[in-house]
Structure 1
Amino acid sequence: MFGSFAKRLSLPTVRRYSQAFTMSLKAISAKDAASLDKDLMDMGGWSLDQLMELAGLSVSQAVWKVHPLNAGPNILIVCGPGNNGGDGLVAARHLAQYGYKPSVYYPKEGKNELYQRLKTQLHNLSVPFITDFDAALKDTDFLVDAIFGFSFGGPLRDPFGPIVSRIESSNIPVLSVDAPSSWDIQSGPPKEGPGAKFMPKALISLTAPKPCVKFYSGRHFVGGRFLSKDITDKYGLDMPPYPGIEQVLEVKVDAEGRL
């Protein structure tokens, strides 16, 4: 499907590779990612709510592709206090609508009023917020790591160090949102401590890959179909050809010389 789609569009830089596109995607730095978000809101007319909704929708679609419902319905979403955690809250809502049984671990809640509204939406769908993380891990089929995204600078502070260590040492398949939590956006996994050996099964890069993707070896998805040409031109981004109504696309990234 993907190969024929690329052929129809005459995209010579795209080829089929294990059901994923291989193409050279420019990675975007944390500074430029923050600037891009600001441009979207200041000049593009987007609200934080809209951006978070689209990000969370992309995350939920990536979960569907990596871990279909028949692989086990119990999904644990671990959320951090910032926008990455907000993306996880949105993803939990969509996953509940798809028929999964999501639960949320939210040890340090964000202060933005938006996060409280997202929590209310989940309460209305009877999505539980758990407090016993170790017990939840035992009953989980799949985990979404929505703790820290592109703004993380390290080192991990409590309670997140022990949380990442438990995820890292478990046998549960994980999808990380934007970057594996504990990883430096530029230099990848820490050399020691929590996260040093953390390699999630899947990663979804929102808007564009971050430089740390060159250290990643699992399944990689990109989501960010809503970007306009003026934004992609300003930041030199390469938007892959999302097929049909898809909000995410699995890609093999060859980012050598592009970071």
Structure 2
Amino acid sequence: MKTLSAKNAAALDRDLMSIGGFSLDQLMELAGLSVSQASNFPPLLHDHILTKPSQSIVSILPAWEEEFSLPVVLVTMVSIDCSQSQTQLNLKLSKSHDLVTNVLLIAKIGGDGLVAARHLWQYGYKPTIYYPKQGKNELYQRLSSQLKDLNIPFTSDFSSALKDTDHVVDAIFGFSFSGEIREPFPAVIKALQETTVPVASIDAPSSWDIEKGPPASGPGSEFYPEVLVSLTAPKPLVKFFKGRHFIGGRFVSPDIKKKYDLDLPEYEGIDQVVEVGSNGQKL
């Protein structure tokens, strides 16, 4: 499967908002929906749910801007509550959940993670948000208000939230990330690479270079998540990734797909993500 460079990914997003007619809100909503469904993909959580019933999910969001100046929210933790193991109906959850699953989401754009947290709550989970540097942008404030309106708690204690989580979804940094990792994220990424909790990264494992993969040293040099969810299309770093790979972001038109010469897999039914193998072929 062909990959999308950081430059082309930013250009494609601009095309989605100009040629495609999407607003930023819409793209975040669809991306966050994909993240939430990938986070709940039955084969991903099934074994962990059966072996370790617990009490919540954790989600984390970032603090950097994208290449085209999209404000990015910081790390968010989500605690999620289930009362029954998931049933396999495409990517749907059963209406009631018997077990509780802790999942740590770290979103590429903060808005994606906030949206995912809201959807996870709607699925029956009980999110708790870790959001150390809340954005002042009106869009992110509205997304935060939506979570607060659902009585989803915000926490400042990352370490405790990680201890109570069963699954992590990492979306801290976007596809344009480069340079030094700023506080408080070095410790967060170090914790992610040391935790035994399964981690799913969004677009790029945090700290990885979009082209070169994991850093040679420092935070993230030994960070290899179990799952990668590529939004829109895979990025070049996918060649360094050996875990389970999902494609999400079901909003690319045929014309935009042709313009960027993308060979995206077909989505089934109403699924918002599709799993692909290491060779890029649909599983």
Tell me which interval the TM-score lies in, with the shorter structure as reference length: 0.7 to 0.9
Paired amino acid for 2:185: F
Paired amino acid for 2:163: K
The structure that is helix-richer by fraction is: 1
**Partner in structure 1 of residue 45 of structure 2:** 67
Deviations 1:121-169 (A, max 9, x none): 1111121111011111111111221211201112211111111111111
Q: Give the TM-score, by structure 2 length.
A: 0.78
Query: CA–CA distance in 2 between the matches of 1:127 and 1:199?
Result: 30
Asked if the contact 1:80/1:110 (under 8 Å) is kept, the reply is no
Gaps spanning 5+ residues in structure 1: where? 1-24
Query: CA–CA distance in 2 between the matches of 1:173 and 1:108?
Result: 25
Deviations 1:178-228 (A, max 9, x none): 110000000000011100010111110000000001101111100122211
Q: Shift of the alpha carbon at 1:108?
A: 2.1
Query: CA–CA distance in 1 between the matches of 2:135 and 2:209?
Result: 21
2:57 counterpart of 1:79:
no
Query: CA–CA distance in 2 between the matches of 1:116 and 1:178?
Result: 24
Asked if the contact 1:161/1:194 (under 8 Å) is kept, the reply is yes
Identity of aligned residues (%): 60
**Partner in structure 1 of residue 75 of structure 2:** none
User: Aligned to 1:77, what secondary structure does the other structure show?
Assistant: strand
Asked if the contact 2:30/2:250 (under 8 Å) is kept, the reply is no
Q: 2:195 aligns with which of 130, 155, 170?
A: 170
Q: Give the TM-score, by structure 1 length.
A: 0.85
User: Aligned to 2:245, what secondary structure does the other structure show?
Assistant: strand
1:61-210 matched pairs, under 5 angstroms: 61-65=37-41, 66-68=44-46, 70=49, 72=53, 74-81=56-63, 82=72, 84-210=109-235
Query: CA–CA distance in 2 between the matches of 1:108 and 1:214?
Result: 32
**Partner in structure 2 of residue 14 of structure 1:** none
Query: CA–CA distance in 2 between the matches of 1:154 and 1:165?
Result: 17
Q: Whose relative contact order is higher, 1 or 2, with alpha carbons under 8 Å and at least 6 apart?
A: 1
2:217 counterpart of 1:239:
no
Asked if the contact 2:242/2:278 (under 8 Å) is kept, the reply is no
Asked if the contact 1:84/1:177 (under 8 Å) is kept, the reply is no
Query: CA–CA distance in 1 between the matches of 2:145 and 2:206?
Result: 26
Query: CA–CA distance in 2 between the matches of 1:74 and 1:218?
Result: 24
Q: Shift of the alpha carbon at 1:70?
A: 4.2
